[in-house]
Structures are given as structure tokens and as C-alpha cells.
Amino acid sequence: MIDETTHLLSPNNERSLCSDREGAGSELEKGYSGFDWAFFLVALLGIFIAYCDESFVIATHKEIAYSFGQISTSYWLVTGFNLGWAIALPTYGRLYDTYGGKNTLLPAYIFGAVGVTITGTAKSMQFAILGRFIAGIGSSGITDLITVLITDMAPLRRVAMLRMYIGAASMSGISAGAPLGGFITGLVGWRCAFTEESFLYEKKWELMAALVLFGAFFILDEAFWAEDPWIPLKLAVNNGVGISWAAQVLLQIATFSLITNVGEFFVRIEYVSTSTAGVYIVPFSLGMIAGGILSGHLIKRSGRYKFLSVSCLGLSLTGFLLITFRWPCGPSQWEVVYTFISAVGLGGVFSTQFVGLAASVPQESSATAITVYYMSQQLGMIGGTTLGATISQAVFRRGLLRKFGASEEGLETIRKVLSDTRFAQSLPGHAQQIIWSTYLESFRIVPIISLCAELLVLPLISCLKEHPLT
């Protein structure tokens, strides 16, 4: 007989419903309990080594180029690495789809080892740049394939945490590589020095024009002619994916226009050693780690990322503003902390934007979307390194011309100042003061480039739709 005390569900059905609820509640953890931590930890070690190598060269590229008598081409050591990275990324995306991530990692490690060997044994600047290009091909696979893999190995909420570990490994590598590179360079130096002018320097604008033309042709081919495009451009118009890619270009321009000039700034202004100059990059690296970790925890707890992304960008802008107004006035050494503030914000933006991208693309397109995401970062690194070096050097040279004049003696002094970051220390005190103040004035353009790039990012990420993290 049925009355008000009768169960609406039988005991069996009730247990079944509870089981369904438990299953739904634990669906987020599905797949994560079987996560391959051993493979992930080995991959993190590879990421650490790759970024340690990159940071080594960022900290010492001026010294390496000076040993070949070609300091004006030093930025090609960084740009060559980033070019190799960017060019290889679409290939890794295709190999990932065909052979899987783990099988594709082996050739990446081989390329990385070969590139480092060529750079370490190079007897000319051209071969050193070639080695950096090949090392970049390897590092792109070592660092980015694991990022694609984790989107297949864990739920999106967990991806933010795993991405945090990857960010910590990369920033730890940058933190260790910069001072280590400075110490080794200061201790043993480089074996070879050449004084001839570099072909790359004489032809740099022609090379940049060729790169732009090649990029334009590649985009046209992918958009209109390729039957099976490596980068399907139609993906860019879905859910703001193209906006995310554009934001990465601008964010890396902001980052690398500054970070590649920090070491030279303190060498010229504080007369520090090469090893000490590398240490000044460490606060920036630590800030990136802190920003990535904090944002990863906040995303995991709240499941939201858009407001956090905009807030982190505001924090980064604050740091760049402080650098713009304080460093050109002759800062105290403790004011390197401004780079930490900017980096905390940048670390948060990178973390939140990656999670947003992963949530906005369908699973079958995630590998391609993430590959182009990282390729966009490399293009931004190339742009930031080139813009920061070229524009700051041009402004510095113009300021020196005003102070020393265009006489034969003045031009020779300017040439030596531009080609040797320590030449000013051999001059009389009055000349040192002129060079010191002129460099401070010219340096202001560097954080201004970063500020402009981040201001362009603000409306881009503000208009992106926030997607649920399931």
C-alpha cells in the first residue's frame, strides 16, 4: 500500500541515482587520476634546460657578439633562436597529429642538442647564429608539445595547474640560465674574436623585408591555395582565437623589448660585471613564476579567468610605467623590483589567456590552436628583440652625435661606445658622464615600446568572451 511514508524510489534506484551524482561530481577528475606524472616530470626537466639555454644567451649575447667583433649583430643570436622556434612550430603540430606527442619529442631533443653543440664550437658569428636557429627548432618542440599534451591528459580546470608547473619550470630555467651564463662568460670567455663586419648587419633590412614577404606569401597560400593548410586560418575567426594569437604577439613584444636590454642597462649605468648583469634578469623570472602560480590557483578555485586576465594586465602596465619614469632618472639598484611587478602581471596574463584559448576551441582543433598560439609568442619575441635593440641603439647614437659631434674623432668615439658596452669606462670622467646621461635618455624608449604594446592588448582581451571551464 502506498502512503506518504512510501519511498518514491526503490532502494536500488536510489543507490543508482547517488552513484550517478558521484560519477558526475567526479567527472572533472576523470583521466587525471591516471595522469603520467613520470613522463610529465621528465618533460619539465627538458623545459627547464631549454629555457636555461635561452636565458643564457639573452644574458650574454652582447659579450658573445663582442668576442667575434660584431656586437652590432648581437640581437641575431636571440632572433635566430626565435626564428627557428617559430618556423618549427607548425611542423610539430602536424607531427603531433600524425605520430602523437611523445614520439615527436625525440627529434626535438636531437635538434636542441645539435644546435647547442654548433653554437658552443662556432668559429664565426654566422655559425653561432646557425646554431641558435637549430637550437630554436629543438626547443620549440621540447617546450610546446607538452603544453598541447596536457590538454588531452587532464580536464581544463587541472590544465591551469599543470600549466602553472610548466611556467614554473620555464621561469626557473630563465632564472638559472641568466646568472650562470654571465658567470661562465666572465670566467672563461669565448675562444674566438673576429673584427670583420657581419653580412647580417649590412643586410639586416633586406633580410627583414624578405621575412615579411615570406610571411605574407605563407598567409596567402594558407588562406587561398593550400588544400590541406598547416594553419587553417578559418580557425582564427572562431571564438576570438585570432584575437588571442594577436594578443600573444603584442605581449611578447612588450616582454622582450625590455628584458633583452636589462643586462646592458646595468652594465652601462652601474658598470657591473657580466655575471652580475645576468642576475638583474632574475626578479623578472621570479615574477613570472609568481604570477603563473597565483593565477593558476585562482582559476582552479573560481573557474573564471577573464577579470583576472584584465587585472593582471593592469598590474603589468603599472610596473612598466614605473620603469618608464624612474629608470631614465638613474635608478637605485633596488628599483629592479619594478620588473618583478611587471612580470607578476605578465605571468598571470599568459596563464589566463592560455586557459581561455583551451576553453574556446573544439578538442579536434586544440593542437593547431595551441601551436599557433606559441608561434605567435615567438613572432612577438622576434619583434620585441629587434624593436628594442634597433630603436634604442638609433636613439642612443643620435644623442651621442649631438654631444660628440660629427668630427672624425667624435664618430670614432661613438663607434667604439656602440660596439663595446664597457668602452665608456676607459674614458675621462666628463666623457663618461655624457655617455651615461645620453644612454639614460635613450633607454626611455624601451619601456615605452612595452607600454604601447600592452595598451594595444587591453581592448583585445577585454572583448574576448569568457567560456566555462568544464
**Contacts for 351-354 with beta carbons within 8 Å, 24 or more apart?**
351/160, 351/163, 351/164, 351/167, 351/291, 351/292, 351/295, 351/296, 351/299, 352/295, 352/299, 352/305, 352/306, 352/308, 352/309, 352/312, 353/244, 353/247, 353/248, 353/251, 353/309, 353/461, 354/147, 354/163
Each residue of 75-115: pLDDT tens digit?
A: 788 888 888 887 887 777 777 777 776 677 888 888 888 88
How far apart CA 323 and CA 4 sit, in angstroms, is: 73
* Domain range summary for the chain, segments of one domain joined by +: 36-195, 231-469
Cα distances (Å, whole numbers) of residue 379 to 72, 142, 413 = 21, 18, 35
* 36-195 against 231-469: fold identical: yes
Percent of all residues in the chain with a pLDDT value above 70, rounded to a whole number: 75
What's the mean pLDDT in 183-204?
Answer: 42
What the block records as the C-alpha cell of 250 is 603584442
- Which of the four pLDDT bands, split at 50, 70 and 90, describes residue 121? confident
Percent of all residues in the chain with a pLDDT value above 90, rounded to a whole number: 16
Among the residue ranges 26-30, 168-172, 257-261, 404-408, the one predicted with the least confidence is 26-30
Report the C-alpha dihedral over residues 323, 327, 328, 329, rounded to 10 degrees.
130
- Which of the four pLDDT bands, split at 50, 70 and 90, describes residue 313? very high
Range with the largest mean pLDDT of 27-31, 51-55, 188-192, 441-445: 441-445
pLDDT at 201: 37
Is residue 358 a contact partner of residue 332, using CB atoms and an 8 Å limit? no
Q: What is the mean pLDDT of the chain?
A: 77
SS3 123: coil
pLDDT at 454: 95
How far apart CA 191 and CA 88 sit, in angstroms, is: 31
**Of 394 and 74, the one with more pLDDT:** 394
CATH of 36-195, one of 1.20.1250.20, 3.90.1150.10, 3.40.50.300, 3.40.50.12780: 1.20.1250.20
pLDDT at 222: 55
Phi, psi of 332 (to 5 degrees): -75, 160
Among the residue ranges 50-59, 147-156, 208-217, the one predicted with the least confidence is 208-217
Q: Which amino acid would we find at residue 439?
A: Y
Report the C-alpha dihedral over residues 287, 292, 293, 299, rounded to 10 degrees.
140
Phi, psi of 36 (to 5 degrees): -85, 85
Is residue 153 a contact partner of residue 120, using CB atoms and an 8 Å limit? no
Range with the largest mean pLDDT of 2-11, 93-102, 310-319: 310-319
DSSP 8-state assignment for residue 280: T
pLDDT at 233: 66
Domain 231-469, CATH class in plain words: mainly alpha
**Helix 125-153 and helix 101-121, axial crossing angle in degrees, nearest 10:** 160
Phi, psi of 106 (to 5 degrees): -60, -50
Each residue of 379-427: pLDDT tens digit?
A: 888 788 888 888 888 899 999 999 888 888 888 888 888 877 888 888 8
Each residue of 47-61: pLDDT tens digit?
A: 888 887 777 777 777
Question: What is the Cα Rg of the chain in Å?
Answer: 25
How far apart CA 431 and CA 452 sit, in angstroms, is: 33
DSSP 8-state assignment for residue 193: -
Report which of 375, 388, 97, 150 is spatially closest to residue 244, judged by C-alpha positions. Answer: 375
pLDDT at 449: 94
- Which of the four pLDDT bands, split at 50, 70 and 90, describes residue 126? confident
| pLDDT surpassing 80 at residue 231 | no
What the block records as the C-alpha cell of 309 is 586576465
How far apart CA 164 and CA 147 sit, in angstroms, is: 11
- Which of the four pLDDT bands, split at 50, 70 and 90, describes residue 31? very low
pLDDT at 10: 47
**DSSP-assigned letters across all residues of 374-389:** HHHHHHHHHHHHHHHH
Is residue 40 a contact partner of residue 162, using CB atoms and an 8 Å limit? yes
Among the residue ranges 23-32, 64-73, 320-329, the one predicted with the least confidence is 23-32
Report which of 267, 280, 292, 418 is spatially closest to residue 349, judged by C-alpha positions. Answer: 292
C-alpha of 294 from chain center = 19
How far apart CA 68 and CA 27 sit, in angstroms, is: 59
| pLDDT surpassing 50 at residue 22 | no
Each residue of 327-381: pLDDT tens digit?
A: 988 778 788 899 999 999 998 998 888 888 888 877 767 777 777 887 888 788 8
